[in-house]
A and B are shown apart, each in its own frame.
Chain A
Amino acid sequence: MQQGIGIVKRKNPHGVRVIPGFGLTFGVSVTMLACLVLIPLASIVWSAGRLSFSEFIQVVTSRQIMSGYQVSLSCAFWAALVNVIFGIILAWVLVRYEFPGKRILDGMIELPFALPTAVAGIALTTLYSDQGWVGALFAKAGIKIAYTKAGITIAMIFVGIPFVVRSVQPVLEKLDRGYEEAAMMLGAGRIRTFFKVILPELYPAALAGFGLAFARGIGEYGSVVFIAGNIPFKTQIAPLLIMSKLEQFKYADATAIAVVLLIISFLLMLLINSIQIYMQRFHEGGENGASLKKIVEPYQKDSHRPLKGVLIAAAVIFMVVMMVLPLLLVLSSALKEGWDAYVRAVLDEYTIKALKLTVLATGSAVVVNTIFGIFAAVLISKYYFPGRQLLAALIDIPFSISPVIAGLVFSLTFGNLGWMGGFLQAHNIKIVFAVPGVLLATIFVTFPFVFRELLPVLQAQGKDEEEAAALMGAGKWKIFSRITFPHMRWALLYGIVLCTARAMGEFGAVSVISGHLRGVTNTLPLHVEILYNEFNTVAAFAVSSLLVIMAVILLILRSVIVAVGSKNV
Chain B
Amino acid sequence: MYIEMKDINKTFDGFHASQDVSFGIEKGHLAALLGPSGSGKTTILRMIAGLDIPDSGDILIEDKRVNDIPGSKRGIGFVFQNYALFRYMTVADNIAFGLEIQKKSKKEIRERVDELLELISMKDLGKRYPHQLSGGQRQRVAFARALAPNPHLLLLDEPFAAIDAKVRRELRSWLKEMIGRVGVTSIFVTHDQEEAMEVADTIIVTNQGRVEQIGSPEEICRHPATSFVQDFIDRERYEALRIKKQ
Contact = CB atoms under 8 A, between A and B. Distances in A.
Q: Are A and B part of the same complex?
A: yes
Interface of A: 176, 178-179, 181-188, 192, 196-197, 200-201, 203, 281-292, 294-295, 297
B94 to A, nearest CB: 9
A456 to B, nearest CB: 24
A184 B72 CA distance: 6
Given A187-B101, A200-B89, 6 more contacts: A182-B80, A185-B76, A187-B98, A200-B86, A286-B86, A290-B81
Contacts of A179: 84, 86
Given A185-B71, A188-B101, A291 B42 contact: no
Contact of B71 (A184, A196, A292): A184
Contacts of A203: 88
Contact of A282 (B15, B87, B148): B87
Contacts of B65: none
A564 B91 CA distance: 44
B96 to A, nearest CB: 10
Interface string B138-156: 1000000110110000000
A282 B88 contact: yes
B126 to A, nearest CB: 15
Contacts of A186: 72, 97-98, 101, 145-146, 148-149
Interface stretch (B23-31, B128-136, B178-186, B210-218): B128-136
Nearest to B17: A295
Nearest to B102: A187
A117 to B, nearest CB: 37
A185 B87 contact: no
B43 A182 contact: no
B98 A295 contact: no
Contact of A286 (B87, B146, B158): B87
The 3 closest A-B pairs by CB, nearest first: A285-B130, A285-B131, A178-B84
Interface in B61-103: 71-73, 76-78, 80-89, 97-98, 101-102
Most buried by A among B43, B88, B138: B88
B87 A283 contact: yes
B52 interface: yes
Interface in B1-27: 12, 15, 17
A494 B129 CA distance: 40
Given A185-B77, A185-B78, A290 B162 contact: yes
Contacts of A285: 85, 87, 129-133, 138
A295 B101 contact: no
A185 to B, nearest CB: 4
B51 interface: yes
A188 to B, nearest CB: 5
B241 interface: no
Contacts of B71: 184-185
21 contacts: A179-B84, A181-B78, A183-B97, A185-B71, A185-B76, A186-B145, A187-B102, A188-B97, A192-B101, A200-B86, A200-B88, A203-B88, A282-B88, A286-B87, A288-B138, A288-B162, A290-B81, A290-B161, A295-B12, A295-B15, A295-B43
* B interface bracket (residues with beta carbon within 8 Å of A): 35 or more
Given A185-B72, A289-B162, A294-B42, A281 B131 contact: yes
Given A186-B72, A188-B101, A289-B162, A176 B84 contact: yes
B116 interface: no
Contact of A284 (B72, B131, B158): B131
B81 A187 contact: no
Contacts of A289: 82, 135, 162
A186 to B, nearest CB: 3
B86 A292 contact: no
Contacts of B88: 200-201, 203, 282
B44 interface: no
B84 A290 contact: no
Contacts of B130: 282, 285-286
A197 B80 CA distance: 15
A302 to B, nearest CB: 9
A285 B149 CA distance: 23
A129 B1 CA distance: 73
A201 B87 contact: yes
Most buried by B among A178, A179, A201: A178
A289 B136 CA distance: 12
A288 B71 CA distance: 25
Interface in B90-120: 97-98, 101-102
B161 A292 contact: yes
Contacts of A192: 101
A213 to B, nearest CB: 23
Contact of B149 (A187, A281, A287): A187
A200 B162 CA distance: 24
Given A283-B131, A287-B82, A200 B87 contact: yes
Contacts of B220: none
A192 B86 CA distance: 13
A182 B78 contact: yes
B49 interface: yes
B82 A178 contact: yes
Given A187-B72, A187-B101, A282-B88, A181 B80 contact: yes
A552 B129 CA distance: 47
A290 B190 CA distance: 13
Contacts of B12: 295, 297
A288 B78 CA distance: 17
Given A185-B72, A188-B72, A294-B42, A286 B98 contact: no
Contacts of A297: 12, 52
B84 A181 contact: yes
A171 to B, nearest CB: 13
Interface string B148-175: 1100000000100111000000000000
B201 to A, nearest CB: 24
A288 B132 contact: no
B91 to A, nearest CB: 10
B123 to A, nearest CB: 20
Contacts of A185: 49, 51, 71-72, 76-78, 146
Contacts of A197: 86
Contacts of B85: 285-286
A282 B102 CA distance: 27
